[in-house]
């Protein structure tokens, strides 16, 4: 029988989960400094972000399957060690090409690390303890995404020992080391009782599906939409269809596919993932647009740009703490209310930008950021709990991997779609109107997610 997860063990796995989530966003406010120091150029800068995100999203499900097979604690420790080493490589990179390669390796390490967190929680907690742990995980996921840019701004501005932008990567090394020591003592080992071999064909096709979609969308604009970007987008539907067919055939034959199609027949998984996709697209695009608009349009320094998001982080965290109690009483209505509050925050932010630009201050942004963060904090943690609520323990790793892959792919798509819309409008309408257009596009997405919330289970287990 697998030992129960202690409070210290839960804190340790949540610390491990925060590292890769923070690192998806922490570089946003450091990009101008990286460009200045390494003469990177727009295409290389986007690869610093996209290389991490594509490797991360592509390998997450495989990381979950490997944890089910060889042990989640073991993979968690390996993931922490490799994440720390690749972070060190990023921080010491002498040129832009080396930094991109190290970021790709860092994304692969994150894919080993993160799926073990959800799988460990699923396998070592029950009842109310599991509900609380999953809500804390959801809160960690959301606040880490927001706090990444705050922390990045602080570290770049502090210029610790002359490290500048390198500190946003080097800070991971001691944190990963501490988490490794804690995990070795406090995290119990668990694995699937019915270990299966890795689905090689499914792994290759999933990787091809995500790469052919995410790579051209995240890198195509900066590279001037070359032929290869259009070729990859044309190939995407074919490899995506092949992935679905191969996985269905494997499950019908009695084998265990990388992503069992039967997972999507579980109502909580189906409805939850359908809402996570648009939510994370909007969230990823928003964080990118704000980082660019504040630094380029309002000429905020890295610290001020990060500080502007502090109210969002605080409100998100408070809402995520209230989530378990609210869900127990109101069920899916918590998600609907959170989505409406998020939409209100976007409207207030758009009105603030329209009325005060170019004299918009950090204090002036605080009310809209607070409302926005509170709404987001009522949505994302609850959605994650919904997706995992009906998963059998034997599929904890693959289910958690599928959910986080969906989340990371949505974040990358948000940067690629809403971010590209924002950047494409800059030369013709200016930064303020480009930001307002992107915010209105996100508001339309929020309206869609509010309708999708009606498909969620009325109550949670």
**Closest to 216 measured CA to CA, from 208, 98, 276, 281:** 208
Q: Which helix (H) or strand (E) holds 309?
A: none
Q: How far apart are CA 274 and CA 37, in angstroms?
A: 41
pTM of the predicted structure, to 2 decimals: 0.84
* CA-to-CA dists, residue 460 to 43, 58, 328, 333, angstroms: 45, 30, 7, 11
102-105 long-range contacts, Cβ below 8 Å, gap at least 24? 103/47, 103/48, 103/51, 103/52, 103/55, 104/51, 104/52, 104/54, 104/55, 105/55
- In this predicted model, what pLDDT tens digit does every residue of 264-312 receive, in sequence order? 888 888 888 889 999 989 988 888 888 888 888 888 887 888 788 888 8
Task: Output the pLDDT for position 84.
Answer: 95
3-state secondary structure of 433: helix
Rounded mean pLDDT for each run of 10 residues along the chain, 461 residues in total:
79 90 81 84 76 83 82 92 96 92 94 87 82 78 74 83 88 94 90 70 85 82 84 94 91 80 83 89 86 84 82 85 75 87 94 91 92 90 78 68 80 81 85 91 92 80 60
How crowded is the C-beta side of 170, counted as CA atoms within 13 Å? Answer: 14
How crowded is the C-beta side of 51, counted as CA atoms within 13 Å? Answer: 19
Q: How far apart are CA 84 and CA 174, in angstroms?
A: 8
Task: Output the pLDDT for position 147.
Answer: 78
Non-local (6+) Cβ contacts of 38 within 8 A are 44, 93, 95, 96, 99
Per the document, the length of the chain is: 461
Task: Output the pLDDT for position 396.
Answer: 63
Task: Output the pLDDT for position 386.
Answer: 80
Task: Output the pLDDT for position 397.
Answer: 64
The answer to whether the CB of 431 falls within 8 A of the CB of 297 is yes
- In this predicted model, what pLDDT tens digit does every residue of 193-222 receive, in sequence order? 765 667 778 888 888 888 898 888 877 777
Burial class (CB in 10 A: 0-12, 13-18, 19+), 390: middle
How does DSSP assign 403-414, residue by residue? HHHHHHHHHHHH
Task: Output the pLDDT for position 194.
Answer: 66
Q: How far apart are CA 193 and CA 363, in angstroms?
A: 54
Task: Output the pLDDT for position 183.
Answer: 92
């Amino acid at each position: 029988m697998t030992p129960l997860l202690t409070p210290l063990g839960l804190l340790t796995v949540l610390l491990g989960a925060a590292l890769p989530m923070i690192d998806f966003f922490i570089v946003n406010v450091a990009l101008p400094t990286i460009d200045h120091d390494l003469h990177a150029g727009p295409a290389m800068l986007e690869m610093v972000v996209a290389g991490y995100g594509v490797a991360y999203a592509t390998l997450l499900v495989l990381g979950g399957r490997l944890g089910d097979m060889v042990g989640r604690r073991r993979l968690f420790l390996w993931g922490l060690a490799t994440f720390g080493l690749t972070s060190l490589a990023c921080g010491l990179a002498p040129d832009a090409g080396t930094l991109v390669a190290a970021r790709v390796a860092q994304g692969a390490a994150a894919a080993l690390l993160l799926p073990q967190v959800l799988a460990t929680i699923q396998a070592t907690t029950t009842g109310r303890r599991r509900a609380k742990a999953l809500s804390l995980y959801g809160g960690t996921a959301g606040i880490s995404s927001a706090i990444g840019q705050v922390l990045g701004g602080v570290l770049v501005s502090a210029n610790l020992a002359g490290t500048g932008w390198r500190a946003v990567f080097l800070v991971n090394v001691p944190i990963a080391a501490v988490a490794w020591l804690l995990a070795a003592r406090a995290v119990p080992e668990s694995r699937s009782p019915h270990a299966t071999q890795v689905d090689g064909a499914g792994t290759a096709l999933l990787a091809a599906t995500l790469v052919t979609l995410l790579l051209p969308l995240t890198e195509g604009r900066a590279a001037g939409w070359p032929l290869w970007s259009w070729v990859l987008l044309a190939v995407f539907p074919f490899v995506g269809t092949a992935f679905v067919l191969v996985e269905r055939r494997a499950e019908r034959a009695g084998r265990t596919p990388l992503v069992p199609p039967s997972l999507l027949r579980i109502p909580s998984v189906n409805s939850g993932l359908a809402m996570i996709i648009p939510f994370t697209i909007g969230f990823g695009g928003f964080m990118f647009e704000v980082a660019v608009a504040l630094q380029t349009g309002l000429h905020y320094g890295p610290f001020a740009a990060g500080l502007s998001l502090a109210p969002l982080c605080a409100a998100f965290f408070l809402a995520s703490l209230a989530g378990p109690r609210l869900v127990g009483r109101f069920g899916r209505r918590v998600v609907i209310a959170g989505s409406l509050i998020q939409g209100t925050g976007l409207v207030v932010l758009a009105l603030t930008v329209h009325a005060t630009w170019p004299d918009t201050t950090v204090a002036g942004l605080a009310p809209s950021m607070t409302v926005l963060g509170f709404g987001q904090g009522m949505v994302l943690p609850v959605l994650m709990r919904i997706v995992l609520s009906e998963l059998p323990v034997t599929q904890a790793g693959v289910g958690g991997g599928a959910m986080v892959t969906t989340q990371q792919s949505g974040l990358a798509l948000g940067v690629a779609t809403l971010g590209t819309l924002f950047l494409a409008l800059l030369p013709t309408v200016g930064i303020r109107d480009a930001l307002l257009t992107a915010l209105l596009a996100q508001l339309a997405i929020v309206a869609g997610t509010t309708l999708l919330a009606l498909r969620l289970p009325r109550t949670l287990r």
